[in-house]
Structure 1
Amino acid sequence: MGKKFSAASAAVSGWALIGRRPLSVAAWSAVILLGLFLPALLLFLPVIDPFVEMIRAMPQTPDAQDPEMTARIMAMQGQLSLMNIGMMAVQVVAPTIVMAAAFRAVLRPEEGRKFFLRVGAAEGWMMLVSLVLTFGGNIAIFAAMIPGVLLGLIGFVVMAIGGDTEAGAVVGVVVGLIGVIVGEIALLWAFLRLSMALPMTFAERRFMLFESWALTKGQSLRLVGMLLLVGLTLLVVQIVLGVVAVVAMALVAPGLAKTLPAARSVAEVLRLIWPILAVALPLAAIVQTVVLTVCVTPLASVYRSLKPADEAEAAA
């Protein structure tokens, strides 16, 4: 009989880890702040002023033959491309290090020194798996919509040939939506079957992706239940944080409305809002770390319950 896991226990394992290891979560938040938020801010800031200046320089009726404006647009596209490449790097490196630390806290709790933080082979392979899942996921999301769109077009054409174009439009939209929904559900199921790729890669210290398919066989409903429970807990947190954010904005917005319109550059804006950033960025890093921990720790908990005995001994 195949192994099973408790969806409820796995869903709350992230919150339990935060309660057991608050200092580790604080250290992980520092990694997110210094390795994700600040680099992202530094990548984004140099682009703002040139972009604003380009928008202001655009005439009301753009001339497609204006060589100066074309050169500025091309230069801006180059800057944005470099910024996007940098963003891809920072969005993978720091979160993966934190993710591996959360996995280590669950799968190898005896390695608690340095708040479970390491940079090694496990983290490197996890970064590669994350990139593959990200790129593959983007392609798969688009591909999953294609059958629904084609079915909708076929439905419209069939009805239109019969002379009823209005009914054809309705049928096309309905059939297309059903097809897209079915495709997205199939995609979600596939991602659930591959959900053990990251903890397996961490435990084995090598690239593992489709090995997750065999491990999650017969576990789809429990994985869905776990996903829904995690989502519900995060929804409650999101509502609370939304209320706090609205109150905070209500307190600072009047002052910003008076001072920000006078700013003419990013440097001036930063000079005016640096006290807010000094508070907001660390708090945002803590929230990001908590959400990441709550989302990825259940994967390690599920893997710990499902992994074969020989893998359990190797991970110990």
Structure 2
Amino acid sequence: MAKKFSAASAAVSGWALIGRQPLSVAAWSGVILLGLFLPAALLCLPAIDPFVEMIRAAPRTPDPQSDEMMARIVALQSRLSLINIGMMAVQVVAPAIVMAGAFRVVLRPDERRGFFLRVGAAEGWMMLVSLVLSFGANIAAIAAMLPGVLLGLVGFLVMAIGGDTEAGAVVGVVVGVLGVIVGEITLLWALLRLSMALPMTFAERRFMLFESWALTKGQSLRLLGMLLLLGLTLVIVQIVVGVVVIGVVALVGPGLAKTLPAARSAADVLRQIWPILAAAVPLAAILQTVVLVVCATPLASVYRSLKAADEAEAAA
């Protein structure tokens, strides 16, 4: 039995899940609101006052490189560094719980209790895999660009040594861009091959990463097709949301532009924008959840198909 799956069916499986489980998606939105947005806001609060003070001090400081301004910038950067560390944890926990809920709908539909939400070994291992993938992808993205940059530099130097610096610049840019493109395509291929790591980890309740490589052998083009179709649906949603946001900003932006400069503290800022936050933050949590479900569910759908084909081959 050949391993294969429908890229089109997988790409829209997240939207189908939302249609079948609207109450679960609403509950998952609450997890994102309380487990992601609220902690992120609390982490950012200590940086608001220094930022407001720096903005207010800027017109009174003719030299942006003055000791006073540099001290403010360094203090703000130190706080932002601590915030970023906290954000790394915050951005993994709640999304992993929600992704596990979406996986559970597809892979263990009988576990309906509590809107498919659990906090157990599967979720814990998924958090670890998410951290490893995120950290590794960031490093790999930088590494993928280096060969292109080095090749471009070599091309420029070779032409420059020959006395044609203008042609060397052109050759360097062209070679560098091609090298970066090849590197990024290679990175995308590697990520596609590792894309089953999260659903495999959920299903097996243990850390699984490179096991995805064997499962996705020969499936790269189908996975890429699924990714492109999924991206197309998200672009349409992004356009609609963008139009709505632009309209809202056009309505409330001028008024805030007049009042916010007078704010002297984080409390003053929150006092002015709390009605907007009260409406926008829950809607943003719902939108974040929808995007997460739409992106996570296809992985579980593909894993279910590939795993079934593997089991059929083993039994044959």
Normalising to structure 2: TM-score of the pair?
Answer: 0.93
The equivalent position to 2:63 in structure 1, one of 55, 61, 64, is 61
CA distance in 2, matches of 1:250, 1:60: 32
Q: SS of 2:269's equivalent?
A: helix
Normalising to structure 1: TM-score of the pair?
Answer: 0.93
How do 1:163-174 residues align onto structure 2 when only pairs under 5 Å count? 163-174=163-174
CA distance in 1, matches of 2:311, 2:72: 56
Q: Which residue of 2 aligns with 1:17?
A: 17
Gaps of 5+ in 2: none
**Deviation, structure 1 residue 71:** 6.2
1:186 aligns to 2:168 (yes or no) = no
Paired residues in the alignment total 310
Identity across the alignment (%) = 82
**Deviation, structure 1 residue 245:** 1.0
**Deviation, structure 1 residue 78:** 3.4
**Deviation, structure 1 residue 56:** 5.0
CA distance in 2, matches of 1:83, 1:249: 27
CA distance in 1, matches of 2:185, 2:309: 32
- Residue type of the partner of 1:243? V
**Deviation, structure 1 residue 261:** 3.0
Q: SS of 1:307's equivalent?
A: helix
CA distance in 1, matches of 2:144, 2:65: 40
**Deviation, structure 1 residue 61:** 3.3
CA distance in 2, matches of 1:192, 1:198: 12
Q: Residues 250-278 of structure 1: CA distance to partner in whole angstroms, max 9, x if unpaired?
A: 22223323332332222111111111100
* Cα RMSD, aligned residues only: 1.9
Q: Which residue of 1 aligns with 2:156?
A: 156
- Residue type of the partner of 1:304? R
Structure 1 residues 260 and 70: CA distance shift in structure 2, 3 A: closer
CA distance in 2, matches of 1:237, 1:123: 28
Structure 1 residues 261 and 62: CA distance shift in structure 2, 3 A: closer
**Deviation, structure 1 residue 311:** 6.9
Whether the aligned pair in 1 keeps the contact of 2:53 and 2:264 (CA below 8 Å) is no
**Deviation, structure 1 residue 124:** 0.4
**Deviation, structure 1 residue 180:** 0.2
How do 1:9-158 residues align onto structure 2 when only pairs under 5 Å count? 9-54=9-54, 56=56, 59-61=61-63, 66=67, 75-158=75-158
Extract structure 1 runs of 4+ deviating beyond 3 A.
54-64, 68-78, 308-312
CA distance in 2, matches of 1:39, 1:289: 16
Structure 1 residues 236 and 119: CA distance shift in structure 2, 3 A: same
- Residue type of the partner of 2:215? L
**Deviation, structure 1 residue 55:** 5.5
CA distance in 2, matches of 1:6, 1:91: 31
Q: SS of 1:293's equivalent?
A: helix
Q: Residues 163-220 of structure 1: CA distance to partner in whole angstroms, max 9, x if unpaired?
A: 1100000000000000000000000000000000000000000000000000000000
Q: Residues 255-313 of structure 1: CA distance to partner in whole angstroms, max 9, x if unpaired?
A: 3233323322221111111111000000000000000100110000000000157879x
